[in-house]
Amino acid sequence: MTLEIITSNALLPLKHGFFTRRGGASSGVYQGLNCGVGSQDQSELVSINRNRVAQALQIDHDNLCGVHQVHSPDVVTLDGPITGDKPKADALVTATPGLALTILTADCQPVLFADTEAGVIGAAHAGWKGTIDGVLEETVDAMLALGAKRSSITAIIGPTISQRAYEVGPEFFDEFMGADPDYGRFFAGGQGDRAMFDLPGFGLHRLREAGIDRAEWIGHCTYSDPDRFYSYRRSCHANEADYGRLISAIRL
């Protein structure tokens, strides 16, 4: 099966994609293109999957750059491939041609950024914690430091869990209300004391507050489409031992 790669016209002509799980070598709960080196999948199969991604992006595997994601607002600026241990961070930026910035997700937001005029790109892993702590704004600031212009940056949110599938408890709601009472608009009523949280809506809000007018969500829900996407929350509800990771990437 060939790879399925979701792209955005807004990021063209840059090579990029939100890769689905289709077209990979993994099996079982990881069936498809599992690119999570931190998963319990067979390492050789994950390597095959990642090599297929590198080929699709027309780069060497060593130029497929990612970080050790920890739900932080931290950003790494690259001028060459990462050697040794991956830095702990949740976003990457570069102005170096030939590098592909990658993010792994399984419900969190993968966000790809580009200022094509300045030749600066970025990629961020934005779960609820990273988003509320400022990872999107920090990514923009790191791009500006490389010569990007705020008015020229495009940001695209890839497949992520949608509001209809993201039930949260009162403590989660209270944390957001404590940060900003206006954040109540990203919650809808659920059963009992539960609420439904709009993660991509919140991500778009934070991007636009950061001055990124060209921001959009690509519109796919990871939880609701098991044939195409891995989902941490869906795997928990199914009592599965582990889950695959989707990869999103952009290169100059």
pLDDT in tens, 219-241: 999 999 999 999 999 999 999 98
Cα–Cα distance, 235 to 107 (Å, whole number): 11
Q: What is the mean pLDDT of the chain?
A: 96
pTM for this entry: 0.96
Residues 6+ apart with CB under 8 A from 237: none
Tell me how far the alpha carbon of residue 97 is from its chain's centroid. 21
Cα–Cα distance, 8 to 111 (Å, whole number): 12
pLDDT at 106 over 70: yes
Q: SS3 of 138, please?
A: helix
- The pLDDT, as a whole number, for residue 190 is 83
Average pLDDT for 191-207: 96
Place of tokens 């404590």: 178
Q: How far is CA 195 from each of CA 108, 109, 202, 231, 235, rounded to the nearest angstrom?
A: 18, 19, 15, 19, 20
Average pLDDT for 180-202: 95
pLDDT in tens, 154-164: 999 999 999 99
Exposed/middle/buried for 179, CB within 10 Å: 0-12, 13-18, 19+? exposed
Q: SS3 of 113, please?
A: strand
Amino acid identity for residue 40 in this structure: Q
The structure tokens listed for 140 are 């923009």
pLDDT at 1 over 80: no
pLDDT in tens, 58-102: 999 999 999 999 999 999 999 999 988 999 999 999 999 999 999
Cα–Cα distance, 121 to 175 (Å, whole number): 32
CATH number given to 5-161+216-251:
3.60.140.10
Cα–Cα distance, 235 to 55 (Å, whole number): 29
- The pLDDT, as a whole number, for residue 146 is 98
Q: Prior bond to 13 cis, omega within 30?
A: yes
